[in-house]
Amino acid sequence: MSYSLWHGFADMGAVTSSGPFVITRGEGVTVYDDAGKEYLDATAGLWFTNVGHGRTEIAEAVAKQLSTIAHYSNFGDFASDTTIELAERLAAKAPVPGSKVMFTSGGSDAVETAVKLARRYWVEQGRPSKRIVVGRSKAYHGMHVAGTSLAGILPNKEGYGDPLMPDTETVEWDDAKSLLGLIERVGADNIAAFFAEPIIGAGGVYLPPDGYLREVREICRDHDVLFVADEVVTGYGRIGGDWFASGRFGLEPDMITSAKGLTSGYVPMGAMIAAPHVAEPFFAGGVWWRHGYTYGGHAGAAAAALANFDILERENLIDEAKRLEGDLAAAFAPLGDLDAVSEVRTGLGAVTAVQLADPAQAPTAVAALRAAGVVTRAAGQGALQVSPSFVMTSEQVRDLARRFAGALEQL
C-alpha cells in the first residue's frame, strides 16, 4: 500500500500496514469516521476543541476575513485590524494587567518564543549570564528545539544529540525544593527562567500538589528567576472557572505560553503573553527584538479566535468547564477500582487521566475504547486521556465513563 501522509508520534510502518483511522466530520462532542461510525470525542481533538466541533460561526468568521484580507506580515509596523482587536481582547483577559501579546503559529512556537525572550530580557537588564532555562520531569513543552530540551519526557529527546540545546536543566515535577536546590547549586545569576505546566498534560495528566504552584512562583520571585506558565493545555478555560490557571491560582506569571483553545483548534494559532516589566525594554524604544513568525497574528486565525471568544463568553463555557471538573471526578473516580486501573487522576479542570496498571496494555485499551465508540489516546506511560469539549453534558460524561469501564473490564 502506498501512503504519503507522515503522521506525528506514530509507527508509520504500522499505520501504512493497517491504514489510518480517518475522521471526516464532527458535531459537538461527537466525531465520525469515514465509514460513518459515531464516536464520543474524549480528548477534544488534542485538548483544543473547547467549544465543540462543527461551529459554523467560527467557519463563517474565518471565511469573511479570508475574503477581505487573509493575512499580512506583522513584522515592522504592519498589522491587521483583526489581529490588533484580538491582541487587545486577549490582553484584557491576561492575569497580569498591561500584558503584551506576541502571536505565533502554535504552542511549540510560543514556548520557543518565551525561551528566547527570557534570555534576551536578561541581556537587556545587563545580566547576560542568566541563560539557563529550567523544566520539570514528566513535562511537555512542544517539539521545537527549546521545548524538546526543556521537557522531561526522555524518549522525545533520543537521537538528536546530548544536549540538544545547552543551558537547560530539569527538576522534579512535584517538589518545589528540587527547584530551590538547583538555584542554590548553579546560582540564580545563571538562571533565566523556570517553565511549568499548571497541569502536566502530554506527560500523563498530573495535577499539581496542593500549594506547589504558588511555592515555585515565590521561589522564582525571591531569586529573580522569570516564571513562565505553559498554559497551552490549561488556557482558555480548560482549567475550569477562569481563562487561565495563572488566574485561578494567583500566580502572576512573567510570561504565559498558550495555543490550542485560543481558536478551539479551528485554525492553528498560539500566543506568548508577557507581563509589562518583561515587555518594557522592548517597548521603550530603540531596541529591536529580531524574532517573529511569518504567520504570527494571521488575520484569518485571529478572526477564528475572536469568534471562539464570543462563544466561550456567550455560552458561559468557562463555568461549564468548572462543572465538568466535578462531573469528571464523580464519573471517573470509581474506575480506580478496576483491576486494569492503578489510579484515576481527576478533580482539577476539565481533564482526567485513567492510569493503566500495565502501561503496555495502552494500545489494546485504546482499541477497545474505539470499538466502544470512544476516541482517546494514551499520554505519558499508559494514562488514558480525558479532556472533553466544554459542551459535553453531565449525562454524556456518565456515558463516557460507562464506556471506559466496559472497555477496561475486557482487559
Q: Would residue 340 count as lying in a domain? A: yes
Tell whether 123 and 145 lie within a shared domain: yes
Q: What is the DSSP letter of 208?
A: P
Cα 54 from Cα 311, distance rounded (Å):
13
Q: Would residue 349 count as lying in a domain? A: yes
Q: What is the pLDDT of residue 176?
A: 98
Q: Would residue 1 count as lying in a domain? A: no
Residue-by-residue DSSP string for 357-372:
SSGGGHHHHHHHHHHT
Tell whether 148 and 100 lie within a shared domain: yes
Q: What is the pLDDT of residue 2?
A: 85
Q: What CATH number is attached to the domain comprising 127?
A: 3.40.640.10
Q: Say if pTM beats, i.e. exceeds, 0.85.
A: yes
- Whether 355 and 341 have beta carbons less than 8 Å apart is answered as yes
Q: Would residue 253 count as lying in a domain? A: yes
Q: What CATH number is attached to the domain comprising 36?
A: 3.90.1150.10
Tell whether 46 and 70 lie within a shared domain: no
Q: Would residue 5 count as lying in a domain? A: no
Tell whether 164 and 174 lie within a shared domain: yes
The total domain count for the chain is 2
Instruction: Show the domain range for 174.
Output: 58-314
- Whether 101 and 273 have beta carbons less than 8 Å apart is answered as yes
Q: What is the pLDDT of residue 96?
A: 98
Question: pLDDT tens, position by position, for the chain (411 residues)?
Answer: 689 999 999 999 999 999 999 999 999 999 999 999 999 999 999 999 999 999 999 999 999 999 999 999 999 999 999 999 999 999 999 999 999 999 999 999 999 999 999 999 999 999 999 999 999 999 999 999 999 999 999 999 999 998 999 999 999 999 999 999 999 999 999 999 999 999 999 999 999 999 999 999 999 999 999 999 999 999 999 999 999 999 999 999 999 999 999 999 999 999 999 999 999 999 999 999 999 999 999 999 999 999 999 999 999 999 999 999 999 999 999 999 999 999 999 999 999 999 999 999 999 999 999 999 999 999 999 999 999 999 999 999 999 999 999 999 999
Number of other CB atoms surrounding residue 289 within 10 Å: 15
Cα 231 from Cα 349, distance rounded (Å):
12
Tell whether 265 and 286 lie within a shared domain: yes
CA separation (Å) from 31 to 28, 260, 384, 393? 8, 18, 18, 16
Tell whether 230 and 361 lie within a shared domain: no
Domain stops at, among 314, 341, 376: 314
Which among 134, 144, 222 is positioned nearest to 178, based on CA atoms? 134
Work out whether strand 383-386 and strand 378-379 pair parallel, antiparallel, or are unpaired.
antiparallel
Work out whether strand 226-230 and strand 191-196 pair parallel, antiparallel, or are unpaired.
parallel
Cα 232 from Cα 303, distance rounded (Å):
19
Q: Would residue 6 count as lying in a domain? A: no
Tell whether 129 and 149 lie within a shared domain: yes
Domain stops at, among 314, 339, 357: 314
Q: Would residue 7 count as lying in a domain? A: no
Tell whether 355 and 260 lie within a shared domain: no
Tell whether 271 and 179 lie within a shared domain: yes
Tell whether 287 and 391 lie within a shared domain: no
- Helices 276-283 and 107-124: crossing angle in degrees, nearest 10, is 70
CA separation (Å) from 358 to 331, 381, 389? 22, 9, 28
Domain stops at, among 314, 341, 367: 314
Q: Which amino acid is at 337?
A: D
Q: What is the pLDDT of residue 1?
A: 61
Q: Which residues pair with 353 in a beta bridge?
A: 345, 385
Tell whether 99 and 27 lie within a shared domain: no
Q: How far is CA 121 from the centre of its chain?
A: 24
Tell whether 283 and 367 lie within a shared domain: no
Q: Would residue 285 count as lying in a domain? A: yes
Cell numbers standing for residue 124: 537587556
